[in-house]
Structure 1
Amino acid sequence: MRNSSLEGTPGVKVAPGGWTVAANTPDVLPGVMGIYKIANAGNTFVGLQGGPVYREGIEQELPAPLIADRTYTMSFDLAYNEMYGHKHCYGNLAIFGGSSPKDTAELLWTSGSFTDTSWHRWNAIFTPKKTHTYISFYAYPSENCPVSSYGVLVFIDNLSTIKQILRTQLTATSSCKTTGTGTVQVKVNGGAEPYTYLWTPGNYTTPEVSGLTAGTYAVTVTAANGVTAKGAVTVEESDLHAAQQVTISDCAGDNKNAISLNITGGLPPYDLSLNGKETEERDFRQLTPGNYVFVLKDKQVCADTFNIFIKEPKPLQIRQVATTPCSCSEVTDGSIRWEVDGGTRPYKYRVNEYAWQPDSIQANLKAGNYQYEVADANGCVDGGHTSITSPNQYCFVMMPSAFSPNGDGNNDLFRPRVYDAITDYRLSVYNRWGSLVFQTNDPKTGWDGYSHGVPQTPQAFIYVCTFTTSKSEPKSYTGSVVLVK
């Protein structure tokens, strides 16, 4: 296109070099009509105004005609100004094609109304219905302007060349996840037929390609006259999906297991099979533990195979129950201890329907018979019966008079025989010279006949044993004990 930057001598009722006046009085700016706006390219630009019965325009003969049914594109800069001799309401540019000077046989494109006073780049795409050798640009009325009958004003500058393009429409269908079932297609118009095609990856040469896996595919379309267009389209992976909600029995053996499926996506209707058998169900109840194999297919024959393994908690089992007898029948220092596995932790325990407790040892129990229960976090329960005994009816503490730490497992330690729930216990042992050889605060810990790692010779030793009885009575036993071999 000649003089695309619209260079010329500023003035009214003129067109820039290479252009002619198409209608009425276009102007070359700036410097006239009170406009001193800086051109966006070169030194000058063109101002056009118009109204319902009045239009200004410029035109030129094209170096090559616009051919019917071919698609073209060009770009240019546009701006608006409210004052131009009088007030205006908006800008709007129209492009016409014709076969002779001043011919506006076909309206090719309009910008639509705008009011931005800054330069902005516009792009026009048009497909002539007839072949044209002239192109013209007009200020074009598109709506009423209450302030003036010449309400349209547009500044134009920096035109590009006119290029022929191809208009393409790309579409795709999704592919199954495991099998290539996707398709891509390109539709072309606005160019010289026939067209050639090249898709990548794959180097396919047809407008439509099938059997594709998920991914992005690029295509180059070439018209018979060499005009090309490129584009890309994505084959999505099928969104066929079965949302799974699995419910597991709280307790082993309940068979309250369930599977619920919510099938979405893909192309309905769906076919579903469970362990090789077709089913219309989507909710499966009272399932026993085991493996469940589902195969889901849609109309596109996309398949989704998935396994759901149902594993119930292990059975809640009390492996062992151990009891500690009461020291005597008058105290409540007996206890029950449980060893439990299976079920769902944490566990809780109770005896004789008393309050549940988290400790696996139930202490401070009196002698007698007990019914016990153990429950897990899901409320599964196991239980049984046991007894707490008492070796003596009456409570007492007895001090031995001799011991033999010879390792035969019989009477190897010196300690009292305690048949009471005593507290504040202390046992001290002295040799005949009054030196401390052993001391403890634990009634279950006895003296083994050593002092500072040295075995003591057979002789008599003095002991002092103090404690408080279960009746809160302080006691102090003093005596001698003989170490024998």
Structure 2
Amino acid sequence: MRLPLFFSVLFSFFCLVSRAQLCNGSLGDPIININFGSGTNPGPALAAAATGYQYLAADCPNDGYYTVITNTQNCFGSSWHTLNSDHTQNGNGYFMLVNASLQPSAFYVDTVRGLCGNSLYEFAAWVMNVLKPNSCNGAGIEPNLTFTIESLSGNILQSYSSGNIPGTNNPQWNQYGFFFSTPAGVHDYVLRIVNNAPGGCGNDIALDDITFRSCGPKLQTSINGFPGDTLNLCAGDTGHFMISGTVGPGYNMPEFHWQSSYNQQAWQDVPGNATLQLPVPIVSNTLAGSYRYRLVAAEMGNINAPGCRIYSSPIEIIIHENPNASITNYGPVCAGSNLSLQATGGIQYSWAGPNGFTAQGDFIVIHAPLPGNYTVTVSNEAGCRVLMQTHVSLLPLPHLQITNNAYRICEMDSVKLQVAGASRYKWVPAFGLSNDSIAAPFASPQQTTMYHIIGFNSQGCSDTATISVTVFAKATADAGPDKAVMKGAYINLEGSINGEYVDFYWTPSTGLSNIRSLTPSVYAMNDITYQLIVISKNNCGSSIDTVAVKLYNDIYIPNVFTPDNNGINDTWNIPALNAFPQFELWVYNRYGQLVYQSGRQNIPWDGNYKNTPMPAGTYTYIIQLNNKTNDILKGTLLLLR
């Protein structure tokens, strides 16, 4: 189906209105619309009376031939334009493609019936020169058409010449036409289109959409109080609108009425209205859609003949559907948490809520929302809006209660922590706790720790609190190494303390120079053991360590030993050397070779030298007690095996 002419002018690709004597008033609907139909290639041949040319059931007709086709491509070495559709851009629409005969002749003749007598009509057709300008060495023959309207007896009522139709660089449809008056009582006519130019290289045309339409005075319409010819409303809007019309000069005694069309359906007469005012009431339940209205006019006596009347451009009232909106509330959420709200069905979303809250967008996240009603205005492409509402409820939070938020303990001790106000708990970190999911765990951390408690109620909402446990290190006593001393000599103890303390002392005090010195001197009368007692700070208790003092009356040096691994006298040992920390001891064989050296460590000699047993015999020893030459002891010993 071809679009009406006033639409085809708007939408045709490379279509111009030029070189035409067309109606400048208002037109009727086409009473004759020759559009050659639509379908698959090729289209059917025309009736024999319609043309003197021969039909070709293929693309690219030769001189004197025509075809009916939906597109043409690469004809005659691409000297013709490639057309992908008819002039209305209907890919399945046919047009007539003509290669002119060598002699000028009529290539289209048709009988037009049913016109009104004593009326003015517009004839129009769309034509294209399909030859490219650079074809035929730039000298292609340009089509030249004559359109005539004749009586059935052959009398010419009106004729119009297109003049030469030049080629164009791109495919370009042009509308040619003229208007003519019909005598009274005559209704049938002959249309003839003659190509005045000779055939040869050029003079090739495409023809489409031949129309006859009634032509009359200019009809104008408007909506009172609104500019333009379109009024956009939304479903549910109400109003009483008035459409006014005017009829320009041209009819002796005009008659008129109104027509309406709903959603592009066929036009229907509006009954009982023959004035230039059309009231249009819109109520709240008026269906959404397109409501078009136009003024119909004709000379008196012809108003009921569709072929004799003219029409105004339509006035359109569009009632747009409101958005089919929805709102999703992802609550309830715990007080202080983020809440997400989402709306759908539109292109714009405006939110409002308690305490002046506003937001834009289909998906919003509210931080710490207030309870109450939140609304969203959803707008669609037409600007129609709906208001939706959702109620936001908040879940209560638990309130954690702690009896003490700071504890102090000594290392290796424990303390019971206590929290209340929730139905379940989580302690972080769990290290040092007897249980990290109860209200009152025991804590025994090795170092100062801050515990974070998360308490949950039955609805999953949470509160947090913190409890610190400060851990004090206990002071540790170290009485130092055991000591050995010769009778009548003094020696110092080597006590030390690790950690913070408030006091320390030695016990017993016998032979000590100062019980509150970590390194007191000792004058021993016999073997004795001392205790170093340290009192820690922060009431973290005390620590005790002991040291033994061995008293030697003299230095006993054995003069024989038997290293035979029988457990008796297997080593040469001088215990009293422990009283001389700086001593050195050397043992030589009878050849003066060194076979043992103590290196200031009182290690008994097992009779071996470099893991090799020494032979039985007499050996010489030298002992230097205090790095002083006058404190040297010498002698011999006997090794027996």
Both proteins in one fold, TM over 0.5:
no
* TM-score, scaled relative to structure 1: 0.39
Q: Which has the larger Rg?
A: 2
* TM-score, scaled relative to structure 2: 0.31
